[in-house]
Amino acid sequence: MAETEIKSIQWFPGHMAKTRRSIKENLSLVDAVVEIIDARIPLSSQNPEMGRMTAGKPRLLVLNKRDMADNNITDRWISYFRKKGIAAVSMDCKSGKGLKAFTSALENQVLKDLIETRKAKGMVGAPLRVMVVGIPNVGKSSFINRMSGSKKAKVEDRPGVTRTKQWVKLGDRIEMLDMPGVLWPKFDDQLVARKLAFTGAIRDDILDIETLAMLLLEYLAENYPACLKERYKMDSEGLDGKELLELLGRKRGMLISGGEVNTERAAIMLLDEFRAGKTGCISLEKPEE
C-alpha cells in the first residue's frame, strides 16, 4: 500500500517542557527512575529523551501489558535491553504477574550498590525512593495501584519536601514520588505514530481510521496470519490492506446498500478488538528492527 499519511501530529512542546522541568527538579530526591513502557512497542512507547533527562540515575524499564504481547518477543526485548546494560523486567498489571520480579530487580540489581552502601553505614531498611514515569496509556496508574495495594498510603510530610509533592508507598520498602506532568512519546515519526495509534496510546481523531486499520491488517497478515484466521476466519495470503479490510467487513456482515462493505465500521471494530487484546498476543516491534 502507498504510504498514506497519518496526519501530522504535534509534539506538544509546552507539556514536554513542563514535564522535563519537573523531572529535572525532582531527580535528586529519588534513588532510581522506573520507566513503564508497553511490551508490544518497547521502543515507540519510550520517551526518547528519558535517558538524557535522567542521566546519572539508575533506571529500570518495566515492559508492561506482557499479557497482550508475544511472549517470545518480550523475552527477546528483555535480553536486548540487558545487553545494552539497561535493567528490564516484564509485567502484567492486569493480573499482577511480574510484581515480585520488579521488586527483586530494583533491590538486587538496580539499587544493589546503594543498599550495600547504606548497610555499611548502618542504614538498614531505609526506603528506596523512585520516580515512576511513562507516556499515557502504558499502564502507569495500574502499576501504581497494583504496587500500592488497595490503600494508597501516603507518606507523611518530610522536612525539606514541599507539600505539593506526594510520596506513595509501593510495598514495604519502596516509596514513589507522585509527580504531576505528562510524558509525551515522540510521535512526529510516522512509524512510531502508527504503532502508538494501533495500541490506542494516541487519539483516534487525529488519524484516518481506515488507513490505520489497513496498515494493521497488513502487519497482522505478514506477522500473525494465524491470529487473523483464528479470530476472523480470514485467509489473508496475497491480499493488500484494502482487500483485507473489505474481507474483514464481509466476514462480520458489515454491509451497506448494494452489498458494499462498510469499511469504516470494520476498521473501528478491528482497532477496538486489537486494543482490547482480542486479536491475540501480538508484538508490533521486534528487537532487531
Q: Summarize as ranges the residues that interact with ligand G4P (CB under 6 A).
A: 64-65, 67-68, 92-94, 134, 136-142, 277
With CB atoms as reference, the residue minimizing the distance to ligand G4P is 139
Shortest Å, Cβ 139 to ligand G4P:
3
Q: Which is nearer to ligand G4P, 247 or 274 (CB)?
A: 274
Q: Which is nearer to ligand G4P, 34 or 247 (CB)?
A: 34
- Which distant-in-sequence residues (6+ apart) come within 8 Å of 15 by Cβ? 181, 182, 184
Shortest Å, Cβ 186 to ligand G4P:
17
Q: Which cell goes with 157?
A: 510530610
Shortest Å, Cβ 122 to ligand G4P:
38
Q: What CA–CA distance (Å, rounded) separates 92 from 90? A: 7
Q: Which is nearer to ligand G4P, 26 or 141 (CB)?
A: 141
Runs of H (alpha helix) within 56-111: 71-83, 99-105
Q: Which is nearer to ligand G4P, 182 or 191 (CB)?
A: 182
Report the alpha-carbon angle 140-279-233, nearest 5: 175
**Taking Cα atoms as reference points, which of 147, 134, 65 lies closest to residue 102?**
147
Shortest Å, Cβ 140 to ligand G4P:
3
Beta bridge partners of 35: 61, 133
Shortest Å, Cβ 271 to ligand G4P:
13
Helix axes 225-232, 209-223, angle to 10 degrees: 110
Q: Which is nearer to ligand G4P, 126 or 136 (CB)?
A: 136
Contact call for residues 210 and 264 (beta carbons, < 8 A)? yes
